Chain A
Amino acid sequence: MKNIKISKIILISLLSFLVACSDFLDEKSKSQLSSESFFNTDNEVTLAVNGLYMLLHTSSLYRDVGLDRFYLHGADEVGANRAEDGVVHNYTWDASSGFIYGTYRDLYELARNSALFLKSIEASENISSDVRNQAIGEVLFIRALTYYHLTNIWGDVPYFRELPTIDELANIIRSDKNEIRNDMKTDLSRAFDLLPDVYSQDNLGRATKWAAATLKAKIHMMDNEWEDMRDECVNVINGSGHALLDDYAEVFNQFDPLKQYNDEIIFAIDFTGVNAVSSLFKSTRVNHYNPRIVKDEPKDMTRLSEFKSALASRNENMRGYGKAIPLPELARVENWEDGDLRYDKAIATSYLGFELKFPYFRKMWNLDQINSPRSNSTDNYVEFRLADVYLMAAEAENELNGPGNAYQYVNEVRKRAFDPDKPWSGLSQDQFRLQLRDERKFELCGEGDRRMDLVRWGVLVETVKNTEYRSFNNPQDNIAERHVLYPLPEEEILLNPALLETDPTNNGFR
């Protein structure tokens, strides 16, 4: 009998344990941060902003030829040295092309994070005003940069200022690009007021107010808003403290990882190369500009080992892909203005006395094997530099008032390009306009400005049709008017048919 009692006691105590432990199944994540308990301190706010900069480093954006596929390729300056990346170079891409989806997805990750962070930072009460102001300015800048790319590439796109619910996001429709850009311009004005002028050495790479002003000028440029464009540019030229370097080649000198920010650079995405904790911060973009030794170079293969030793003695090598090299037209010295010093600094057809089989962008390559070995490059992605702003100021002023006041800006850029100097004068507005287009082409060659220029000038299709490409590429046979914009990714439309509501043709691709 006693035993039965014991068993009853055991049984009852077990059952009561079951009932008592109703929170036994509750989940609390101990090793992960939850968004509910964040944004209470200055440091937490800074962490969030840093996270946004990290998102700029993905392969589909700045680390590799992500954004380059929309900005650098497909114009009249860059091609591969062989039949590679044909989908991009031949204009055979369509809504199902993977690179379009990748960039779209990564830009929306930025859009979602910025929307959530902005609201949380604005709502947080415990943060010092300096930190808050800078943080809001940086988030506004990064969000505007995100929508700048989105509207450049796709035109009308899904748009939100506060993070919608998952369901709302999954059924979102496209918004008018003008509405989006107007908001961004307003945001950038606000960012300009909130952001600092300069940063300490440790913070180079963060957006300054001048980065915000330049981005705003760029958005005005895409909208042909000449007056605002000029005003922003002049403001940057006069107020930013940025200056043109004396030597064109020095602008692109990335060899010393700690001296990658020069006076001319207004905004760059920072890459760290071999020392980086994650491959995300090791740029692979330079692989595309760098030559392939053995496979392609040097032209005289009997001198291969000689060439190798010559490179090795400089701690250099050519271990790139050769997939982003100048098109023949751009590479021919006779197509450049006589005496243009930039040619030799921008283009390489021989190196160390060895003739090369293909031309390369000397300004964009990096042969250094210490800081920029293959797929481990520390080269920053220079997004905005002052020479571009000068040329933008010249263009906007010419469009507004004719060449009179525009010469000063373009001649500032030409001053270092020619010795003796060859300043412009006595041009008609139209002559100025056309010559400036070439000036931009040569000054900014290989940097990824050309294609959007051709788009906004309305001459992309005719330019491509009239350019000489390498024999394995035939974009001239494929390009059509619809190619000024990209289609929204096919997968995206399958998952959210509401994206067709405003434009059933998907930018002419359906």
Chain B
Amino acid sequence: MKCNYTFNYLTTRLRGKWLFAIAILLLTSSAFAQSKIVTGKVTDENKQPLPGASIVVKGTLTGTQSDFDGNFSISTSQDKEILVISYIGYIPKEVSSKGKSVINIQLEPDAQSLDEVVVVGYGTTAKKDLVSAVSTVSNEVLKNQPVARVDQALQGRATGVQVTSNSGAPGAAATIRVRGTSSINGNNNPLFVIDGFIVGTSFNLNNINVNDIKSIQVLKDATALSIYGTRGASGVILITTKNGKGAQSGKPLVSINHYSSVQTMTNKVNVLRGQDYLDYKNEESQFVPGASGFGEIDISLPLAFPSGVEYANTDWIDLIKRTGIINNTDLSVSGNSEKLNYYLSFNKFSQEGVIKGSGLDRHLFRVNLGLELSDKWKTGVTFNVSNNKSENNKVNFGNILFRNLPIRPVYNQDGSYNAINPESASPERNPVADISLRQDYDETTNIVGNTYIEFKPTSSITLKSTFGTELSYVRRNQYLPGALPERLESNLGGSASIRQNQFRSLLNENTITYKKSFGDHKLTVLAGATWQKDVAENTSMSASGFVNDAVGFNNISLGSDAATYRLNSSYVQRTFMSLLSRIDYSYNSKYSLTLVGRRDGSSVFEAGNKFAFFPSVGASWNVDEEEFLNESETISKLKLRASYGIVGEQGVRPYNSIATFRGVNTYFNENLVNGVIVGTLPSSNLSWETTKQLDLGFELSLYDGRINIEADYYNKRTEDLLLERKVPGTVGSTQLQNVGVIENKGLEISLNTQNIVKDNFSWETSLSISFSKNKVIDLGGAKFVDLRLPSNSLAGTGIRLMPNQPIPSFVGVRYLGTYKSKEEIIADGFEGKAFIGSPRYQDLDNNGVINEEDKVILGNPIPDYYGGLRNVFTYKRLTLDTFFQFSVGNDVFNGANSTAIFGRGDENISPSVVNRWIEGVNETSNIPRAGTSTSIFNPVSDLWIEDGSFLRLKSVSLSYNLPVEKLGIGKIFKRANFYVTGNNLFLLTNFSLGDPEVNNYGSGLEQGVAAGSYPYTKSITAGITLDF
């Protein structure tokens, strides 16, 4: 039913767009009514079609662009017009149309600019002259992917870039690590730069449309990064959006893209069902240490859940899940004329998540303009406005997997929602009620605008000033109605909260570029000055005791319980001021040298310590330009690169060096009063974290570009790590200090091969694979630093940093199974604490106590290698694009196991307890018997650590490019493309909790923790792209 509805919806929507498209068509085509049509095909030196080549009637504004298959069709007003056919990186050709109606053109590569242009910080450079390691992801690999966020599309695509989904929730962020984790307390997220504007490391990627992106460059080595100074150490991701340059002249290109997806949950997790739970609990209730002290069943004891009573058997997962739906529409108009180029786009994305009540709605508008004011003056603007409304997940999925008891009914006998845990009699949330009653959404409005003015007084000098801003406003509204069963139970009334976050950033950058060639010498000198100011203002308010649920957060003053009123506001400001410079020199296209330096100042450091300098040097050698390789049949390109430099990371929260008081409350005889105490310890003499990075790389092309290999080795050493370091309790708890050293090493290889290149059939393969190793070298003398606790704090810390170990390491004790005999218990010295059939751990120091001293290293979440494999098959107009993603050697910390087999408290238990130790029935089982869980400390153990390696068919897409000419609709459409894409259709893993690609703690250091986040999905998408 749902699908039908969607299809209808789709067609009605399209009908609207049809009219729009036809209107545009009529308007534009009327201007060229009486003309001769010339058609043709543009191909490259290998006779491969060149889509997007420009065809212009010489001396006029009339022009067009070749389509996906290199085909074009152009109207000329006279018979003997000259057509100019051009494409970036190729020598333009002029052809007379005299007497011809079909012209096929083969372009020859331009040796001078064979290479693509690569965007680097504060400029662009020809790939040939590039001395840095930069991963490029073009829009070509992003297309046909039904993803709302660009990070989701980046997974497995770029070497050295590890992208891990934090959850499957609509619009959820992913964690991105460029060449590993290099900071402890600081930031490890890459810096995002959109069209030259620095939006920072925490930019919400929901605010940018994947379809607006022209290319993504990931800067990885020191030469590329040090131009970003103190903000570059975790990598920089440059996003370039589309513009009207290279589009056809005169006539605008209208493009419509629509897709619809259906999604289903992939986390197939079994939970313990009703009768099995009852059996376990009844067995538990009759367990006693007994006279022997080693554990017995006393059948005289009453059963916890005696028979004769009807117990529910609720499948909570089934009650909250649904089929997810995504609808996405992109509409763009682009073009250029002599002085102006433009790209305008609109996007609407809506998603209903696979958990009822969750979803995302987005509207996005973009305007990119470039204008030539005169020969010497240019100006332009990029402007993006987005509005996101995300319906936050109302249920706790982790609870549904591990906590909610199957014997708990959804409804009471009187039809009201059940609110009581039948085991403990405590009030507990009811997921079904949560979905229907809770209100919880975020609304984000984000504007990024960037304008520039450029002045070229001479041919070699360019002055450019940019002024940009990001304005962001986030409001989160939450209302817990008094009608929620757990609130009714305690007569709490409704509770509302509103959180607002206003962020503004202003950036001004001024650069001067001097570019000149002297014979064989080419020199580019860039110098610049920038400043940026970021201000975040937060306010929040909450109130409870609403006696009526009608208004909720829309009139928070109706919260009647004054004791629950909470008001907060804060103001945080950061400022940056920098000078930067880069010198590129190349000789005879063979040897290139780049020197970079940035002097960076930041407000977060204390006076006298605010500035630092980050230099780097890189060089490359195009070996193929040497005579001995000039004539080589095999090697068409060989380049060697090396770079070394220093990049920084500030990792400090603002105001850390200022001693402050913290506002607190206290009570006297139930009267609330305010108070203050000394706040967190101020830091002193903090400086930047500095990352020194060596990069060695080569690029090799064989057999005329049929085989391309790019490989990089890197070694990053981060010193003066900012560490929230434990200080003596007499001083406080922690203080931010510069201590510690971390090392990241790795090898990145990308391989691209054109396996088959035939007229009608081609097969291309791209493999990206990254090997990485990181480890802590030093923690300022500390033996270890504990990170966040896993979900059950009773079990002690399971994640820590330790010298000579990866970041982070999973630690715990070794689980040895169950005690099978008295003798084992006596030998271990656990009489009275352990019982036959109870868990047995390795007591390393044999002191009869399981504690910290018995912990060993059990694993780490860092993969040995990860990457992706893409295969593209093209047969005539049909293209099959498959993409596998893999990760090997990473461990997952399965937080669900914390209580899973111990039957603790009032939570559900792992279904594996069905195979537990039972006296006289199953005495070889290593799953503890019922009733022994509280007798012994059940710490983090190797039970919790699982292999998280996986191979996933991330996407497979089949698209068909309609022969618009043959169908006779060539006058209407330039291109019509249909596609079907499947995502996550196949997953190979041994992980017990569904999808091992988990990151419950988000972008923190504690990677690879699974504790039941919003489930991941698989989806099928159907889409259409139409160009007019």
Contact = CB atoms under 8 A, between A and B. Distances in A.
A474 B425 contact: no
A313 interface: no
B603 A317 contact: no
Interface string B583-603: 000000000000000000111
Contacts of A53: 666, 668, 675
22 contacts: A24-B531, A25-B601, A32-B660, A51-B676, A54-B665, A83-B833, A87-B849, A109-B732, A113-B678, A166-B681, A172-B730, A204-B668, A205-B667, A206-B668, A258-B669, A275-B670, A301-B302, A301-B303, A378-B670, A471-B293, A472-B833, A472-B935
A272 B563 CA distance: 10
Contacts of B726: 491, 495
Interface stretch (A14-22, A179-187, A212-220, A221-229): A14-22
Interface string B719-743: 0000000111111110100000000
Given A25-B576, A35-B660, A492-B730, 14 more contacts: A25-B575, A25-B603, A32-B661, A33-B660, A50-B665, A96-B853, A101-B729, A170-B730, A202-B671, A204-B668, A272-B563, A276-B667, A471-B289, A472-B833
B667 A272 contact: yes
Given A3-B376, A471-B293, A33 B729 contact: no
Interface string A16-47: 00100100111101111111001000000011
Interface in A265-306: 270-272, 274-278, 281, 293-295, 300-302
A170 B670 contact: no
A26 B576 CA distance: 10
B222 to A, nearest CB: 25
Given A25-B577, A34-B660, A319 B730 contact: no
A190 interface: no
Contacts of B659: 34-35
Interface stretch (B189-197, B565-573, B947-955): B565-573
B529 A15 contact: yes
A7 B463 contact: yes
A295 B931 CA distance: 11
**Chain A: interface residue count, which band?**
35 or more
B729 A105 contact: yes
A21 B577 contact: yes
Contact of A261 (B376, B510, B669, B729): B669
B123 interface: no
Contacts of B299: none
Nearest to A29: B655
Nearest to A1: B457
Contacts of B936: 83
B23 interface: no
B409 to A, nearest CB: 16
Contacts of A11: 463, 510, 512
Contact of A373 (B490, B570, B731, B849): B490
The 3 closest A-B pairs by CB, nearest first: A50-B675, A301-B302, A51-B675
Contacts of B293: 471
Contact of B730 (A108, A206, A258): A108
B678 A112 contact: yes
A270 B607 contact: no
B661 A54 contact: no
B675 A21 contact: no
A32 B679 contact: yes
Contacts of A481: none
B731 A170 contact: yes
A104 interface: yes
B917 to A, nearest CB: 18
A435 interface: no
Contacts of B573: 27, 30
Contacts of A26: 603, 607
Contacts of A277: 563-564, 566, 665, 672
A364 interface: no
A86 interface: yes
Contacts of A230: none
A472 B563 contact: no
B677 interface: yes
Interface in B666-695: 666-679, 681, 684
B604 A472 contact: no
Contact of A270 (B601, B668, B727): B668
A32 B655 contact: yes
Interface string B823-862: 0000000001100000000000000010111000000000
A373 to B, nearest CB: 7
A211 to B, nearest CB: 13
B654 A33 contact: no
Contacts of A10: 463, 465, 510
B515 interface: no
Interface in B916-940: 934-937
Contacts of B425: 293-294, 308, 317, 319
B16 interface: no
Contacts of A319: 424-426
Contacts of B728: 169-170, 172, 492, 495-496
B610 interface: yes
A506 to B, nearest CB: 14
A4 interface: yes
A352 interface: no
A205 B671 CA distance: 10
Nearest to A106: B729
A55 interface: yes
The winner among A170, A271, A300 for most chain B CB atoms within 10 A is A170
Nearest to A278: B665
Nearest to A163: B678
A151 interface: no
A435 B662 CA distance: 50
B28 to A, nearest CB: 37
A272 B670 contact: yes
A275 B566 CA distance: 12
A502 interface: no
Contacts of A203: 668-669, 671
B669 A205 contact: yes
A145 interface: no
Given A50-B666, A319-B424, A300 B302 contact: yes
Contacts of B666: 50-51, 53-54, 57, 270, 281
B563 A24 contact: no
B490 A29 contact: no
A505 interface: no
Contacts of A92: 849
A52 interface: yes
Contacts of B727: 166, 170, 495
Interface string A154-198: 000010000000100110100000000000000000000000000
Contacts of B533: 24
Given A34-B659, A319-B426, A51 B677 contact: yes
B126 interface: no
A84 interface: yes
A82 interface: yes
The winner among A18, A308, A319, A373 for most chain B CB atoms within 10 A is A18
Given A24-B531, A92-B849, A113-B678, A205 B668 contact: yes
A274 B853 CA distance: 40
Contacts of A52: 675, 677
Contacts of A96: 851-853
A324 interface: no
B661 A35 contact: yes
Nearest to B833: A83
A412 to B, nearest CB: 27
The winner among A49, A51, A257, A261 for most chain B CB atoms within 10 A is A51
A260 interface: yes
B676 A33 contact: yes
Contacts of B731: 166, 169-170
Contact of A35 (B564, B669, B678, B935): B678
B658 interface: yes
